[in-house]
Amino acid sequence: MIMEYSSLYDLIKSIEYGTKLHIGVIFFGNYGNEKCIVPYSHQIHSSYMCKKIKNSEKEYKKCYRCRNIAIGKAIRTKKAFGGLCINGIYEYTRPVVVEDDVACIIYIGNILTDGGYKRLKNKNADFETFEKNFSFEMCESAGMLIESYIRILLEKYPIEKKSFNSLINNIKSYIHSNIEYNISITSVAKLFHYNEVYLGRLFKKETGFTFKEYINDTRMKLAADLLSSGDSVTNISQRIGFNDVTYFNRQFKKYYKLTPTEYKKGKNF
């Protein structure tokens, strides 16, 4: 029955349909293929309340630390678990293990529980934006369905195209998902269990960018999109990982030959 779906994302959308659930999947190492690709909004926590809470750099960092604790636990224990995030939103986390490696992690979240209600009440949460009464057992059922489909996709669609490198694609996805933080080749190599020097050379070969160049390129493109949407320069600099707005201005002008303010004015004409 699940093979009626053309991709992992199609299955995720069908499970989310009619609910307020948010389902995400992040792949590691060389696992995954073109059928497994999901948009960045479904590799991170991307619900209405998450966006509202993460409006400041301080809250972004809290969420980042909380998420990495969950990733570390999933990789270490290789078992599914559920719990409240630092802000009180319930999320189910399920690692998919292939030959003793964690190939990916499935997240099912944006769920409201009694315990979470108490924390979220202090944050002026809109409780109508959450999925209610979605138990651990229900998460288990959905998680097992997604895991089964991922295993089918990994087996049925082995990587054949040289243009698709799952390792590099997974790293790029991780960068996009965490662009507001201080990402280094050292931390990514450790997370993906690869030698730092080897990974740096492979990344350059596959993308044409060094690791730092790719992060900067990604940040500048995201900054341009945010400027076009009307966001403030100060807020954008924080959202894409620049604590110093003056340094952000210099980097943006170096990339686009315009200051962020000049670029923003030009887009508003």
Residue-level length of the chain: 269
Q: Please tell me the pTM assigned to this model.
A: 0.71
pLDDT given for residue 159 in this prediction: 57
**Mean pLDDT, contiguous 10-residue spans, the chain (269 residues):** 78 95 89 84 79 69 79 92 91 94 93 87 85 94 96 80 70 83 84 85 91 93 86 85 88 92 74
Q: Kindly state the tokens that stand for 269.
A: 């004409």
Location of each CATH 1.10.10.60 domain in the chain: 178-269
In 3D, which of 219, 158, 211 has the Cα closest to residue 187?
211
Architecture of the domain spanning 2-160: 2-Layer Sandwich (3.30)
pLDDT given for residue 164 in this prediction: 58
In 3D, which of 224, 241, 120 has the Cα closest to residue 178?
241
pLDDT given for residue 1 in this prediction: 52
pLDDT given for residue 244 in this prediction: 86
Within 10 angstroms of residue 102's Cβ, the number of other Cβ atoms is 20
Just give the CATH number of 178-269: 1.10.10.60
Location of each CATH 3.30.450 domain in the chain: 2-160
pLDDT given for residue 269 in this prediction: 45
pLDDT given for residue 268 in this prediction: 52
Q: Cα–Cα–Cα angle for 133, 135, 124, nearest 5°?
A: 50
